[in-house]
Amino acid sequence: MYEKLIPFFKEWFKETETYGFSIPKEYGQVLGQEPDHIHFEKTFGEFIQRMKGNYPFHSPQYAGQMLKPPHPYAWFAYSLAMTINPNNHALDGGPPSSEMEKEVMQELAEMVGYNNHFLGHLTSGGTVANLEALWVAKCLHPKKKILYSADAHYTHKRMADVLGIESASVPVDDFGKIDVIKLEEVLPGAGTLVVTMGTTGRGVVDEFDKIVPMCKSHGVRIHVDAAYGGFFKIIEDNLQNSTPWKSLSVADSIVIDPHKHGLQPYGCGSVLFKDPEVGRFYKHDSPYTYFTSDNLHLGEITLECSRPGASAAALWFTIKTLGLTPESPFGNMLKDCIQAAGKFAEEIDQSEYYSLIQQPELDIVCYFPVATSTSEITRLSKRIFDYGMKESQEPFFLSLYKMPSSVITKKHPEIVVDQTEVTVLRSVFMKPSHKEYVKKLIIQLETAYVDCSE
Ligand SMILES: Cc1ncc(COP(=O)(O)O)c(C=O)c1O
């Protein structure tokens, strides 16, 4: 392996140098050569052994969390851009990748319907993107509360605390969406409401279309957290319910993570603001940077300073190559994920060993092993989760999700409620290869149920 990989890398560096990518000579020369050779080989051996400790994120066997390797185009562009290591803070840190970032933000803005009039940038992930959106919410309404749903990502409460702004959660309905009746009671006096388009737990989309007029009538801003769900906007007409997506451009700010469904490596989130005027809150002077050009430096509209230009380059390359339309390879991959989740839910619904919690809206499915009480469901779910990773003949990987017991018992009153919360199973089908795999997973799950019930 070592003997093959090192010459390959040397060849790769030599070849890419002809296109203007280059690593400093002193690095190129030491790669696997004396006197480093022995250390290199030893460390390399340890490295590959340790990386084997990862779960098989590339394989359909892994349907646990929102995790998958980036598309090879992203990998390709990232690794080349990384040899230059541009920094998208000030323009002089990476003029071409800064331009690429502006272009990809334009693509994302068009995707959500913001078109030319917006402000936006990439971030290191969804957490920082949401932090920036909530920070702008605070700048606009310093004395007004931020609301988010009980099923919104926990980052909203944490970031509101970091910002020192009052926040509160709004109850959800039985499907895990903002309860619009209860929302009406708490909206008066609030500053911004976080609407989640694709919740992390159940993958559901809040009823944006119903929420918008309510917020308008109370003068409440809307921030959409579409960190996970945002790219499904491309295939809105293929979704069971396209209505919430149609009016997405009404939102005041939107977060979308290219490192979730955008085929990118980690370190790539994004935030978009409908009103570019909010750029005034970011305004600051720098004694070190922003001298090379009067054009906008991305650092002037971000809270993070140094950011990888390679992220922008990789996303730019991926979008340019795969397109962002419903019929593009990108769109088709998303459709496959939706179909995989739909197929799996159908099978679970027919299984004598498992019950479906609700029909999936995107590509996350929650379900539970049949049992007589909520504590037994929790015990079996945890047992099956472990069994899949450690005992199954061929491993399979799920995740667990904690929810109020009432969600289950309303539909299944025969189940004894002996815990207020129940832990259920959750599968995220975010790889097109899951479409073929789900049948096999059902068989594995049924075997697991029988083995774990004994
Ligand atoms: C809806 C939602 N918002 C925010 C986040 C946090 O994003 P990140 O992990 O990229 O910081 C996640 C992560 O799963 C998410 O699903």
How many angstroms separate the alpha carbon of residue 355 from the centre of ligand 1?
Answer: 27
Six-digit token pair at 233? 């906007």
Residues 272 and 356 in one domain: no
Confirm whether 334 is domain-assigned.
yes
Our answer on whether the CB atom of 203 is closer than 6 Å to any ligand 1 atom is: no
Helix (H) / strand (E) element for 105: namely helix 95-112
Six-digit token pair at 106? 């334009």
Please identify, among 271, 290, 322, the residue that sits at the C-terminal boundary of a domain: 322
pLDDT at 314: 98
Instruction: CATH number of the domain at 144, please.
Output: 3.40.640.10
Q: Which whole-number Å values give the CA distances from 358 to 21, 297, 366, in the listed order?
A: 50, 46, 7
- Rounded CA-CA distance 434/223 in Å is 32
Task: Spell out the residues 6+ positions from residue 204 whose beta carbon is closer than 8 angstroms to its own.
Answer: 151, 175, 176, 177, 198, 358, 361, 362
Does residue 27 sit in helix, strand or coil?
helix
Our answer on whether the CB atom of 206 is closer than 6 Å to any ligand 1 atom is: no
Containing structural domain, residue 314: 80-322
Residues 389 and 446 in one domain: yes
Residue 258 has pLDDT above 90, yes or no: yes
Among the listed residues 78, 22, 69, the one whose alpha carbon sits nearest the alpha carbon of residue 316: 78
Residue 259 alpha carbon, nearest atom of ligand 1? 10
Residues 229 and 284 in one domain: yes
Cα angle: 363, vertex 368, 371; to 5 degrees: 170
Would you say 335 and 430 are in contact if contact means Cβ atoms under 8 Å apart?
Answer: no
Please identify, among 322, 357, 378, the residue that sits at the C-terminal boundary of a domain: 322
Mean pLDDT of 37-45: 85
Residue 292 has pLDDT above 80, yes or no: no
Task: Spell out the residues 6+ positions from residue 303 whose beta carbon is closer than 8 angstroms to its own.
Answer: 128, 131, 132, 135, 282
Mean pLDDT of 153-180: 98
Confirm whether 338 is domain-assigned.
yes
Residue 7 has pLDDT above 90, yes or no: no
Residue 313 has pLDDT above 70, yes or no: yes
For residue 32, what pLDDT band results from cuts at 50, 70 and 90? Answer: low
Q: Kindly provide the residue ranges of all beta strands, DSSP E only, lying in 320-448, ordered along the sequence.
A: 354-356, 364-369, 399-404, 421-428
Our answer on whether the CB atom of 197 is closer than 6 Å to any ligand 1 atom is: no
How many angstroms separate the alpha carbon of residue 72 from the centre of ligand 1?
Answer: 23
Six-digit token pair at 16? 């890419």
Our answer on whether the CB atom of 71 is closer than 6 Å to any ligand 1 atom is: no
Please identify, among 322, 338, 357, the residue that sits at the C-terminal boundary of a domain: 322
Residue 198 alpha carbon, nearest atom of ligand 1? 1
Does residue 123 sit in helix, strand or coil?
strand
How many angstroms separate the alpha carbon of residue 447 from the centre of ligand 1?
Answer: 33
Nearest residue (by CA) to ligand 1, atom 2, is 227
Mean pLDDT of 60-73: 96
Q: Which whole-number Å values give the CA distances from 178 to 37, 145, 149, 174, 334, in the listed order?
A: 59, 17, 6, 10, 25
Q: Write down the pTM of the prediction.
A: 0.96
Six-digit token pair at 252? 């005041």
Which amino acid appears at position 422 of this protein? V
Would you say 286 and 74 are in contact if contact means Cβ atoms under 8 Å apart?
Answer: no
Helix (H) / strand (E) element for 138: namely helix 126-140
Query: Residue with structure tokens 């073929």?
Result: 436
Residues 119 and 263 in one domain: yes
Residues 127 and 271 in one domain: yes
In this structure, is the dihedral angle defined by the CA atoms of residues 126, 128, 130 and 133, taken in order, positive or negative? negative
Our answer on whether the CB atom of 149 is closer than 6 Å to any ligand 1 atom is: no
Higher pLDDT, 113 or 284: 113
Six-digit token pair at 67? 């995790």
Residues 168 and 288 in one domain: yes
Pocket mutation for ligand 1, best pick of 154, 155, 361, 426 (most atoms within 8 Å of C-beta): 155
By mean pLDDT, which of 21-35, 155-169, 232-246 is the weakest?
A: 21-35
Confirm whether 63 is domain-assigned.
no
Residues 278 and 341 in one domain: no
Q: What is the mean pLDDT of the chain?
A: 94
Confirm whether 132 is domain-assigned.
yes
To the nearest 10 degrees (0 to 180), the angle between helices 2-17 and 37-51 is 100
Cis peptide before 35 (omega within 30 of 0): yes
Residues 252 and 166 in one domain: yes
Confirm whether 166 is domain-assigned.
yes
Residue 199 alpha carbon, nearest atom of ligand 1? 1
How many angstroms separate the alpha carbon of residue 326 from the centre of ligand 1?
Answer: 24
Residue 28 has pLDDT above 80, yes or no: no
Confirm whether 71 is domain-assigned.
no
Our answer on whether the CB atom of 155 is closer than 6 Å to any ligand 1 atom is: yes
Residues 266 and 118 in one domain: yes
Instruction: CATH number of the domain at 354, please.
Output: 3.90.1150.170
**Number of domains forming the structure of the chain:** 3
In this structure, is the dihedral angle defined by the CA atoms of residues 287, 288, 293 and 297, taken in order, positive or negative? negative
Residues 210 and 340 in one domain: no
Residues 102 and 150 in one domain: yes
Per residue in 412-440, pLDDT tens? Answer: 999 999 999 999 999 999 999 999 999 99
Confirm whether 350 is domain-assigned.
yes
Task: Spell out the residues 6+ positions from residue 384 whose beta carbon is closer than 8 angstroms to its own.
Answer: 369, 398, 425, 445, 448, 449, 452
pLDDT at 30: 63
Does residue 402 sit in helix, strand or coil?
strand
How many angstroms separate the alpha carbon of residue 32 from the centre of ligand 1?
Answer: 39
Query: Residue with structure tokens 């293929």?
Result: 238
For the chain, what is the total number of helices (H) and then of strands (E)?
17, 11
Confirm whether 68 is domain-assigned.
no
Nearest residue (by CA) to ligand 1, atom 7, is 126
Our answer on whether the CB atom of 225 is closer than 6 Å to any ligand 1 atom is: yes
Our answer on whether the CB atom of 342 is closer than 6 Å to any ligand 1 atom is: no
For residue 359, what pLDDT band results from cuts at 50, 70 and 90? Answer: very high
Our answer on whether the CB atom of 205 is closer than 6 Å to any ligand 1 atom is: no
Which amino acid appears at position 49 of this protein? Q
Residues 227 and 120 in one domain: yes
